[in-house]
Chains A and B, each alone.
Chain A
Amino acid sequence: MKFGVVIFPGSNCDHDAYHVVSKVIGQPVDFIWHKEQEINGYDAIILPGGFSYGDYLRTGAIARFSPVMKAVKDFSHDGGIVLGICNGFQILCEAGLLPGALLRNRDLKFVCEHVNIRVERADTPFTSGYQNGQILSIPVAHGEGNYFCDAATMAELESQNRIIFRYCDSGGVVTYESNPNGSLNNIAGITNREGNVLGMMPHPERASESALGCKDGRALFLSLAESLRAMIKLRA
């Protein structure tokens, strides 16, 4: 099994994703440079957080044109697992691998703090280690995490159960106050139709070690490793 972490110019959570995969869950991982046109030999690709290309125009708007993104698209079309965290989620939306867009936060300010999210589905390759309805404390850190899409897309996301995480209060109730950025339907993370691409604004890699005060994000990476192991076995 091998993970790949893409480095765009301006990525800054690349080392964090690398650390959690290599040191916390102990799996093989390589960095992938944004100028690469082919990505071979990987089982899962992580698009890390950061400010790709400075994100001066619109988050993820330039990164989608990176040579590596064409390869990531092909990889996902072949069923490869792709996880986009924060800026990675924004890039996935810009690249059309996920629907919708991430707008400026409701209060127009960058927000960095622990938030509660509710696991809406525990039957995905990303969340199999959680329980349905489980409440996780995971940090967010973004200026543009306000998920938006048109009504038809939202209806599709809801009816196809593609919303994987929602912001909620400590009791698991989805409220206006518990939404840190104004996302529609308190969306914190969604998948594509096929379920192999997940984009999420919260940073599970920042909540995977007790030294950092919270381990709620660790099960996401363990779930991924578990799912990949099963997929590899199936292929063999």
Chain B
Amino acid sequence: MITPEILDQHNVTPDEYERIKQLMGREPNLTELGIFSVMWSEHCSYKSSKVHLRRLPTEGECLVQGPGENAGIVDIGDGWCAAFKIESHNHPSFIEPYQGAATGVGGILRDIFTMGARPVAAMNSLRFGPIRDEEVDDSREQASSRSVARNRRIMAGVVKGLGDYGNAFGVPTVGGEVSFAECYSLNPLVNAFALGLVRREHIFYGKAEGIGNAVIYVGAKTGRDGIHGATMASAEFDEAAMEKRPTVQVGDPFSEKLLLEACLEAMRAGAIVGIQDMGAAGLTSSSCEMGARAGTGLEINLDLVPQREAGMTAYEMMLSESQERMLIVAKRGHGRQLMEIFHRWDLDAVVIGQVIAEQRLRVLHKGEVVADIPNKALTDEAPRYNRPQRPFAVSTEDVTPKIEAAVSNLKSQAGGESQVFTEILRRLVASPNLASKRWVYRQYDHMVRTNTVVPPGSDAAALRVKETRRSLAMSLDCNGRYCHLNPREGAKLAVAEASRNVVCSGARPLAITNCLNFASPERPEVMWAFSETIDGMAEACRALGTPVTGGNVSFYNETEGAGVYPTPVIGMLGLIEDARHTTTQWFKEAGDVILLLGVTRNDLGASELLSVVAGEASGAVPLLDLEAEKAVQKVCLEAIQAGLIRSAHDCSDGGLALALAESCFSSYSRNAVGARIDLNEHAKLSGLRLSPALLFGESPSRIIISLKPEHVSEVKGIAQRAGAACAVIGEAGGEELSLACDGKPLIEASVASLEEAWRNALPSHLDRPA
């Protein structure tokens, strides 16, 4: 008997229950209700987001597989395709950082090799609350000393979990982003990205085709872990969240590695018709989705499922989220061959059922039918909500006065203008958002498979594709502060920046995947921000010609009423046609001329500068002109492809001064190089005289490039033809970074001292007794 209490425990509303009864033509039993509750959870059904996601552009020349499968796929030439996707593991990572993050990697890797692709790269996008002692403020829970200490623990655990899983599996973690803000204190975000390579003719899908074909369970045994994980990820947290630790699964990268090798071998052997990972909602989602996609059904017998513990109920087995498991529909006559392959890799492989003509999910246990549900009721017929929206005012505030006040305040302490700006730059490089992330990425094996041609630290990571002369560039980007102040423009800026980053590495942007992290969709402001985000993203993706190949929505990133900034993380993939054109952000040699593409406006709203000197996230976000963006990207790519460019660096968070400092810092294969900069020509082109904005403003659509002196006129010609602003701003060389405008010094610092502050910032906050 299903009572209101049981419905409540399952996060099923009374209206939804009525719908379930209607679709079933009867009352469901408890197992069936459990199955509905996970399949209709926000996490699995996208019930609040689907009506909006439709507005995203999902078509493009290079697209082989758009949204709806386990991963999106694009064509990268010579018969090769790249499968890639990003997914959130936010809720489990808050409850149990190490395993939560580790299983996030495991899940996304399975999504990739389920398609027949061998994973060759991973990245991640992480958001945490403040980790600095100086930010402690016990009047606010999110900044309390307790929270700051916990934030450090969560970050350490998450990074170790991501590293340990990827490292053992043998996929290089080549890049990503890490940033910090108070709203992530009780709601850390952990988004894991993976990319794999597959021959076009070897792509596999999650379809249960061929009536009578055997349904085979492979991989790890089923245990009681992770039951209702998807439901947990579909509700906001409260103080009791820690009690949900048992709903977090435990990862085993070793099993996953064996599973990968065995699956790819079985695919190559032609033994597989369809295959799907048992991710969220485990056996339930894999069995009904595979049937739904093929217009068939599945009948499975739980007595045959390999079990880790005795006495599991049908309910527990159907809802378990034990890791490293797959469901396979075998090609007729190949069942034995398939089992032999898995046994060779010491993995369980058991026939647990068959494909049936009726479009139903039928589950047998101990001789009884314990669930019998039409597939479509669980998938296509899941509820869709067009939830109410309430617009909020996007900020249009000009923060110039605030900045001026802060600067003059600093002047009274530091002295002259150039001392003040130099001091500000010193603070910016040491701010956790902008500081070196080496503490994080040195814990990731970013070189295994020997394809990493641009390791973490530059604008985008680049990976060679050994079988071709091409390389792939990839980048994850989002500025939560922008999205919080203006969701539509913030989403556009995220797409533009991700695209600019891959262009800076010498790649043509191909397509994106996205991970949309939001607070509760039941709050109308959140839903409005979501809708705005979709429209902004759609506009930018259309303008830049990069369709959406899929992704993930994570709602309910909210604890005790306080939610995260809208954080739509964009994962951009680009193609470097000739691997020799792979470019990094670092200045190469003294004497190289430095140019700045694009113009600087008075864009100090929502900036890192404002956050560092005034502790505020406010103001109007930078204005993005998509036509100007396209022009700047075109110039950069064309000049790189013509072999004229020695370095290219996107200019964004922290502004021009920060970007120049980053280009000066030493990297894995070269020493630091200084730069002498005069912004005169650029300031004239921009029509801007305001020093803070010139130095630290975050105007988009700007790229710093360096080149040999003899190539300057050619590059200027390319810029002129494309209608993009382009100014010589200086020359590389020496041990200092100096910036001046109109002969007036603005910043003068030794590169070594800036680099030391930049490198030591994260270790100084994280490597200490807990």
Contact = CB atoms under 8 A, between A and B. Distances in A.
Do A and B interact with each other, yes or no? yes
Interface of A: 9-10, 12-13, 15-16, 19-20, 49-51, 53-56, 107, 109-114, 139, 141, 143, 203, 205-206, 209, 211-214
27 contacts: A12-B168, A12-B169, A12-B449, A13-B170, A13-B448, A16-B448, A49-B448, A51-B253, A51-B257, A54-B253, A109-B160, A110-B167, A111-B442, A111-B443, A112-B167, A112-B444, A112-B445, A112-B446, A113-B438, A114-B668, A114-B669, A205-B450, A206-B447, A206-B450, A212-B450, A213-B669, A214-B669
B253 A109 contact: no
Contact of A211 (B258, B346, B579): B579
A9 B346 contact: yes
B452 interface: yes
Interface in B534-585: 579
A112 B346 CA distance: 30
B254 A112 contact: no
Contacts of A209: 450
B303 to A, nearest CB: 29
Nearest to B580: A211
B414 interface: no
Contacts of B252: 54
Interface in B430-458: 438, 441-450, 452-453
A205 B669 CA distance: 17
Contacts of B254: 9-10, 51, 53-56
Contact of A213 (B253, B441, B668, B767): B668
B452 to A, nearest CB: 7
A112 B447 contact: yes
B170 A12 contact: yes
Nearest to A33: B344
Given A15-B449, A110-B163, 18 more contacts: A12-B169, A12-B257, A20-B450, A49-B448, A54-B252, A107-B767, A109-B160, A110-B160, A110-B164, A110-B445, A111-B442, A111-B443, A112-B445, A141-B167, A206-B447, A212-B450, A213-B669, A214-B669
B345 interface: yes
A62 B356 CA distance: 43
Contacts of B255: 54
B345 A141 contact: no
Contact of B447 (A54, A107, A111, A141): A141
B26 interface: no
Contact of A113 (B169, B346, B579, B668): B668
Contacts of B445: 110, 112, 141
Contacts of B646: none
A55 B257 CA distance: 13
Contacts of A110: 160, 163-164, 167, 442-445
Nearest to A19: B450
B682 interface: no
Contacts of A139: 447
B140 interface: no
A151 B329 CA distance: 59
B481 to A, nearest CB: 30
A54 B450 CA distance: 21
A49 to B, nearest CB: 8
Contact of B453 (A19, A55, A56, A213): A213
Would you list the 3 A-B pairs with minimal beta carbon distance, nearest first? Answer: A12-B170, A54-B254, A51-B168
B470 interface: no
B492 interface: no
B646 to A, nearest CB: 15
Nearest to B446: A112
Interface of B: 160, 163-164, 167-170, 252-255, 257-258, 345-346, 438, 441-450, 452-453, 464, 466, 579, 668-669, 767
Given A10-B257, A114-B668, A214-B669, A51 B167 contact: yes
Contacts of B438: 113
B160 to A, nearest CB: 8
Given A16-B448, A51-B254, A109 B453 contact: no
Nearest to A214: B669
Contact of B442 (A15, A53, A113): A113
B451 to A, nearest CB: 8
Contacts of A112: 167, 441-447
A56 B169 CA distance: 13
A207 B642 CA distance: 28
B167 A9 contact: no
A201 to B, nearest CB: 13
Contact of B449 (A16, A143, A213, A214): A16
Nearest to B252: A54
B28 to A, nearest CB: 40
A232 B743 CA distance: 71
A39 B453 CA distance: 35
Contacts of B163: 110
A141 B669 contact: no
B146 to A, nearest CB: 24
A10 B168 contact: yes
A81 B255 CA distance: 31
A109 B443 contact: yes
A56 B257 CA distance: 14
B612 to A, nearest CB: 28
Nearest to B168: A51
Contacts of B258: 9-10
Contacts of A12: 168-170, 257, 448-449
Contacts of A213: 453, 668-669
Contacts of B253: 51, 54
A213 B252 CA distance: 33
Contacts of B767: 107
A204 to B, nearest CB: 11
Contact of B466 (A19, A111, A206): A19
A110 B445 CA distance: 8
Contacts of B669: 114, 213-214
A203 B170 CA distance: 14
Contacts of A49: 448
Contacts of B448: 12-13, 16, 49, 141, 206
Most buried by B among A10, A107, A112, A113: A112
Contacts of A19: 450, 466
A212 to B, nearest CB: 6
A214 B252 CA distance: 33
B665 to A, nearest CB: 15
A213 B254 CA distance: 30
Contacts of B466: 19
Contacts of A206: 447-448, 450
Contacts of B441: 112
Contacts of A13: 170, 448
Nearest to A14: B170
B245 to A, nearest CB: 21
A12 B165 CA distance: 13
Contacts of A54: 168, 252-255
Nearest to B169: A12
A51 B251 CA distance: 15
A219 B461 CA distance: 27
A13 B445 CA distance: 11
Contacts of B345: 9
Contacts of A113: 438, 442, 668
A211 B443 contact: no
Nearest to B471: A211
Nearest to B159: A109
A217 to B, nearest CB: 10
B450 A16 contact: yes
Nearest to A137: B669
Contacts of A20: 450
A53 B170 CA distance: 13
A50 B241 CA distance: 36
Given A12-B257, A212-B453, A55 B443 contact: no
A157 B447 CA distance: 31
A143 B450 CA distance: 19
A15 B118 CA distance: 13
